[in-house]
Amino acid sequence: LVSVDYEVHGKVQGVFFRKYTQGEAKKLGLVGWVQNTSHGTVQGQIQGPTARVRELQEWLRKIGSPQSRISRAEFSNEKKIEALDHKEFQIVK
């Protein structure tokens, strides 16, 4: 299992980015969270099996929600974990 933090830049607010991210994470069986930031980005944390986390990272980097325009996605604080810190993938207000 791995845990990784992310921040996505571009046109990612007001385009259902969080809702789509949550849907994609649930489809992949991942847990974590996503929220808007005050400076126009979307950030959060992903946890789960490495291969699945990589799939969501790729999705965050290249796909996103239909109306979004991603300029870049940054990933940080990646670490191996023994257990998941979250029960599900939540949208944080």
Question: Is 36 considered catalytic here?
Answer: yes
Rounded to two decimals, the pTM is: 0.96
Residue 8: CB atoms within 10 Å: 24
Q: Which member of 36, 54, 72, 77 is catalytic?
A: 36
Catalytic annotation present for 69: no
Q: Exactly one of 18, 69, 72, 77 is catalytic; name it.
A: 18
Give me the domain span that covers residue 72: 2-91
pLDDT in tens, 8-22: 999 999 999 999 999
Nearest-angstrom CA–CA distance, 11 and 17: 9
Kindly report the CATH number assigned to the domain that includes residue 20.
3.30.70.100
pLDDT in tens, 28-81: 999 999 999 999 999 999 999 999 999 999 999 999 999 999 999 999 999 999
Closest Cα to residue 67, out of 22, 13, 27?
13
| Domain count for the chain | 1
pLDDT of residue 84: 98
Q: So what's the pLDDT on residue 44?
A: 98
Q: Residue 86: its pLDDT value, please?
A: 97
